């Protein structure tokens, strides 16, 4: 899916009236099948940009086109049709705590299923083998029938990524997918996403705090600061000077390490009174 932004301004709905727009004057074009990393300090507007591209945040000025179509001028049916072709994955996946992992992963299949099959899958998961394959690729094959509230933060993030693998979206917008993963898991998960996106011709845009990993893994890197585009370059052309300017007054984020391995979640032991 191709993305075009022309002089876009956008505003997070939680902002105070006197606050400046979250995104200001953005001009971008991302071709179908490209893999692009978004970097920048906290508050730069990375999450808002992903929401804008995912037709979840409307522009205040300018224009957004997805495959040449303006989602906000397509009517409600056209907007729903476009949203069915994309996956917007937040940093913390909204997974119901008592839901089984298999059901959480298969939620990405709902756009392809009829209403009857979707309802049936809540009782008896309809394509468990598809969910199992995605989870095994992410090292979670043994969690298929586990409850979501028994998972660690890193495991929940990988469940969110498994949704991308089982769905048929043509645009993946992934917000900080590695923040709760240790270095080995993070590198493996990112390589899997990139490889799968290339094989399917999916456009992948991911925001990352880990600058070194972004530069090493993505061919194209976009730098955002205070809602404005600082640079848009091939990864090989992102110099230390550009990074220093991007992270000025936020130098600690430039060297932010990946997460340490998380301890396993231990199920609570029920207490009995004698």
Residue 21 CA to residue 59 CA, distance in Å, equals: 10
> What's the pLDDT at 65?
96
> What's the pLDDT at 256?
65
Residue 191 to residues 69, 185, 224, 265: CA-CA distances in angstroms? 31, 10, 23, 26
- Mean pLDDT lowest for which of 43-47, 71-75, 129-133, 259-263? 259-263
Higher pLDDT pick, 28 / 12: 28
* pLDDT of 267 over the 70 cut: no
Mention every residue, 6+ apart, whose C-beta is less than 8 A from residue 64.
3, 4, 5, 8, 52, 53, 55, 70, 71, 72
Residue 106 CA to residue 92 CA, distance in Å, equals: 17
Backbone angles phi, psi at 73, to 5 degrees: -120, 20
Q: Is the separation of the CB atoms in 127 and 113 below 8 Å?
A: no
Handedness of CA 87, 90, 96, 102 (dihedral sign): positive
pLDDT in tens, 43-58: 999 999 999 999 999 9
> What's the pLDDT at 251?
87
> What's the pLDDT at 269?
40
* pLDDT of 259 over the 70 cut: no
Mean pLDDT estimate for the chain: 88
């Amino acid at each position: 899916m191709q993305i075009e932004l022309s002089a876009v301004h956008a505003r997070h709905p939680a902002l105070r009236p006197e606050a400046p727009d979250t995104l200001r004057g953005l001009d971008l074009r991302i071709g179908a099948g490209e893999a692009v990393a978004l970097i920048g300090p906290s508050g730069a507007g990375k999450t808002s940009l992903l929401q804008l591209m995912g037709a979840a945040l409307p522009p205040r000025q300018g224009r957004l086109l997805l495959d040449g179509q303006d989602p906000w001028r397509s009517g409600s049916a056209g907007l729903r049709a476009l949203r069915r072709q994309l996956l917007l994955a937040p940093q913390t996946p909204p997974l119901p705590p008592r839901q089984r992992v298999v059901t959480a992963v298969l939620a990405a299949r709902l756009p392809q299923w009829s209403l009857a099959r979707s309802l049936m899958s809540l009782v008896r998961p309809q394509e468990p083998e598809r969910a199992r394959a995605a989870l095994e690729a992410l090292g979670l094959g043994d969690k298929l029938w586990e409850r979501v509230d028994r998972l660690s933060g890193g495991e929940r993030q990988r469940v969110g990524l498994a949704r991308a693998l089982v769905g048929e979206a043509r645009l993946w917008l992934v917000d900080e997918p590695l923040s709760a993963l240790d270095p080995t898991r993070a590198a493996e998960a990112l390589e899997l996403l990139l490889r799968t996106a290339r094989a399917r011709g999916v456009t992948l845009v991911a925001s990352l705090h880990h600058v070194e990993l972004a530069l090493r893994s993505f061919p194209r890197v976009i730098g955002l600061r205070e809602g404005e585009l600082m640079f848009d370059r091939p990864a090989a052309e992102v110099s230390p000077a550009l990074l220093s300017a991007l992270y000025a007054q936020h130098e600690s984020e430039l060297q932010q390490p990946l997460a340490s391995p998380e301890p396993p979640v231990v199920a609570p032991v029920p207490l009995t009174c004698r």
